[in-house]
Structure 1
Amino acid sequence: MDVDETAADLTVGTFDEGLVLTPLGPWTARTGDELQDKIDALNLSGADGRSVVIDMAEVARLDTVGALLIQRLRAAAEAAGATAELHAVKPQHERLMAALREHAKQKPPPARRTSGAVDLLAGVGASVIEMGDDVKRGLGFLGAVVSVCAKLAITPWRFRFTSTVHHLDRVGLRAVPIIALISFLVGAIVAQQSIFQLRNFGATLFVVDLLGILVLRELGVLLTAIMIAGRSGSAFTAEIGSMKMREEIDALKTMGLDAVEILALPRLVALVVAMPMLSFIASMSALFGGGLVSWGYGDITPITFLQRLNDAITFQTFMVGIIKAPFMAVVIGLIACTEGMKVEGSAESLGARTTASVVKAIFVVIVLDGVFAMFFAAMGI
């Protein structure tokens, strides 16, 4: 039978040595406001030096709010100078009251006094430690990938070709429109700004040299890598992270399957294959956009543009950019898969790891591009 939630009450009785306070019915959150008003209206001024017994025998239901009200009732009696005690407490109610008394004994830790400079240094130190952990984890994951590749070299029939083609379609073919469009627009903007500045020196034609070398050596592959990190890297992290949350990766391990071989390697191979082709498309789109702007804004005809471009660049210029693509693909794939494996059991963790994957991949890609630039400069290329 359900307990009537409106039957909660508090009665006051007397005996030779003092007062008897009897809580009745359910003392719960639903009746808390009404009971608090009754406790506030209770007159215990005559209880000084006497005993107050709180008889809990008639309490039908007690939750945390009701237990707090009982404690307040007892505190009110003690504040009036009486000696208060509980009587006939049911075992389940006693456990709740004991837990609240134990919680009341716990004192909050003292506020830690810090300064802004100390917090800043602590944050920098924590970031450095986390960066070191990321490098260590990434190298470990790279080692696992190399180990899997060695195994597949011995047993090539285990390679998941269908999965690789599926990811190649998603990473490569479906990314062509957005990469071509963005690269076209960036190439057009670079050409327009370059012409605007070079026109002051009567050197408008040199925009072709600038555009060709910049796009083929740096801009094409860098734009592609950044867009792939934001588009495909985040997707890889979210996919693997979701599988980690649903314990699908643990299920693979239970079945004796290697998660790196099944999940990471097809994605990495797809990235390594797709990145050079996408970089080539991005470079051609940027040159096309720059050529159109040069024709319309700089009065450089397409024939003149192509002739000047042929004189300004070599096959070596083209290869400097394309060579970077597979390395950037490996970095993006490793970071994306590693961050996906770090996802814990909450949606907040999944979002944080996906964001971290994109940010870290873009940062490392730019750093890697700078390292390549210094290397080629040292080689005189």
Structure 2
Amino acid sequence: MPLSPAFNPPDTQDDPAFRLTGDWCGAPVQPVGESLIRQASTLPEGAFDLQGVRRMDIAGAWAVLQSLGPGSDLSRVRGKPEHLRLLEMVAAADAARPKRRVGPGPFRALLERIGRGVIGIGAETYGILAFAGQLMVVTARSLANPSRIRWAPCVSMAERAGLDAIPIVVVANFFIGAVVGLLGVNTLRQFGAEVFAVELIGIAVTREFSIVITAVLLAGRSASAFAAEIGSMKMTQEVDAMKVMGVDPFEALVFPRVVALLLTIPLLTFVATVAGLMGGALITWAMLGLGPSFFMTRLVENVGDTHFWIALSKAPVMAIAIAGIGCRQGMLVEGDVLSLGERVTSAVVQAIFAIFLIDAVFALIYMKLDL
């Protein structure tokens, strides 16, 4: 029958020993152990007599060690050999436990975060350059030997990543053109120059919105899909199996996706331009009474096709950026679902950032060229 744990405080100053009795095991140890720790703190040099202890587990040993205070001087403990060995084991385990580190101050934490960010940017830049170099090698090898190109995946990817995106591209750019027309008409009406809304719609849609909105939609649609597809293959070790069989993953997975977007994004840009102009023409017709024929005539005479070709010149660069970022993030996926989700998110964010950066660079170039 188990005996409740108990202890007797020192009787005399000549023998300041706490005498423990009973079974120092399990849950009953906690209240008795807390009382022992409180009383032992008043006698820091007190000894502990465990001769009356019948059984002891880790909970009981831990209560005794806490009563001994910092350092846990086991020379102050008398008891059975098995109890002393248990105390030594628990004391050694406590000493080997990693100590809680004190966090750095706020200023140091800020500096460390900035440093990690700088290192991360450097590592990311190096990874992007390495990926781009490998893609260029594969592209040159494929162009030198066209029989290596896998045309079936290219066509399939072009259909899924490009042609299937036509409805959403048309709808989005139609409403963008309508919004630009609405804002242009309301703003220019204050100056009695509503008719110039045609030029505003033509330049804004053909030069900027058609390619940028199309590229952003492809970044959210295709870049994420590329990262998820290749990432899933990485998780199931299909990419490793391709390497074992002598198949270059860049030739089989990355290059067809880049070619697919290169082929489809100019078509999507043209469709987006037409849809945006239709939305703007509808607004000018409804608000100003300018018919479609007048809209097109003024568009051709005063806007021309220069802005459309400027937008189209951005398409290949954005296509390579979107496909490359999506495929690279897919290649970086590790063996868990959390990594897959992080890489898909990174693919979309980086692709959208790259689109705006490319657009800004082209704007500066054409501004210097006075185009």
TM-score normalised by the shorter chain: which range applies? 0.7 to 0.9
1:319 aligns with 2:317: no
Which runs of 5 or more residues in structure 2 are unaligned?
A: 9-16
Shift in Å at residue 45 of structure 1?
A: 7.7
Q: Aligned AA for 2:361?
A: V
Gaps of 5+ in 1: 1-6, 28-32, 60-65
1:196 aligns with 2:186: yes
Answer yes or no: is 1:361 the counterpart of 2:315: no
CA distance in 1 between counterparts of 2:320 and 2:101 reads: 47
State how far apart, in whole Å, the 2-side matches of 1:379 and 1:273 are.
27
Residue 158 of structure 2 is aligned to residue 174 of structure 1: no
CA contact (8 A) 2:37 2:63 kept: no
Counterpart for residue 219 of structure 1: 209
Does the 8 Å CA contact 1:77/1:84 hold for their aligned counterparts?
Answer: no
* Equivalent position SS for 1:88: helix
Within-5 A mapping of 1:9-48: 19=20, 22=23, 33=27, 36-37=30-31, 39=33
Structure 2: how far apart are the matches of 1:361 and 1:123? 24
1: CA distance between counterparts of 2:136 and 2:78?
73
Shift of 1:103: 3.7
Deviation at 1:296, TM superposition (A): 0.6
CA distance in 1 between partners of 2:88 and 2:158 (Å): 61
Q: Distance in 2 between matches of 1:43 and 1:367?
A: 66
Is the partner of 2:370 in helix, strand or coil? coil
Q: Tell me how far 1:277 sits from its aligned partner.
A: 0.9
- Residues 116-158 of structure 1: per-residue CA shift (max 9 Å, x gap): xx65565445434433332321121111112112322344333
* Contact 1:172–1:274, Cα closer than 8 Å, also in 2: yes
Alignment of 1:1-381 (within 5 A): 19=20, 22=23, 33=27, 36-37=30-31, 39=33, 49-52=47-50, 67=58, 69-75=59-65, 78=68, 83=77, 87-88=81-82, 97=90, 100-104=93-97, 106-115=98-107, 120=110, 122-381=112-371
Question: How many residues are aligned here?
Answer: 354
Flag the 1:197–1:112 CA change in 2: closer, same or farther, 3 A: same
- Secondary structure of 2:99's counterpart equals coil
SS at match of 1:256: coil
Aligned-pair CA distance for 1:271: 1.2
Deviation at 1:334, TM superposition (A): 1.4
> Does the 8 Å contact 2:175/2:276 carry over to 1?
yes
What is the alpha-carbon distance in structure 2 between the residues aligned to residue 99 and residue 261 of structure 1? 57
How far apart are residue 268 of structure 1 and its match? 1.0
| Cα distance between partner residues in 2 of 1:193 and 1:359 | 29
The Cα shift of 1:353 comes to 2.3
Query: Matched residues in 2 for 1:78 and 1:134: separation?
Result: 53
Return the alpha-carbon distance in structure 2 between the equivalents of residues 271 and 181 of structure 1.
20
TM-superposed CA distance for 1:41, in Å, is 7.5
- Identical amino acids, percent of aligned pairs: 33
The alignment's TM-score, normalised by the length of structure 2, stands at 0.82
Displacement of 1:226 after TM fit? Answer: 1.0
Alignment-mate amino acid for residue 265 of structure 1: F
How far did residue 250 of structure 1 move?
Answer: 2.6
Pick closer, same or farther for the CA change 1:294–1:147 going to 2, 3 Å: same
Q: 1:145 to 1:85 in 2, by over 3 A?
A: farther
